[in-house]
Amino acid sequence: MSIDDLAKAMALSEDMLQTFGDQKSKDYYAYAASKLIDYEQDIRFLMAQIKEDIIRNPQSKVKNPAAIFVTKLQQMAEEHGIEL
pLDDT per residue over 21-71, tens digit each? 989 999 999 999 999 999 999 999 999 999 999 989 989 999 999 999 999
Average pLDDT over residues 3-19: 96
Indicate if the pLDDT at residue 1 is higher than 90. Answer: no
Residue 49 pLDDT: 95
- Burial of residue 17, with CB atoms counted within 10 A of its CB: 0-12 exposed, 13-18 middle, 19 or more buried: middle
Which residue type does 61 have? K
Return the percentage of the chain with pLDDT > 70, whole number. 100
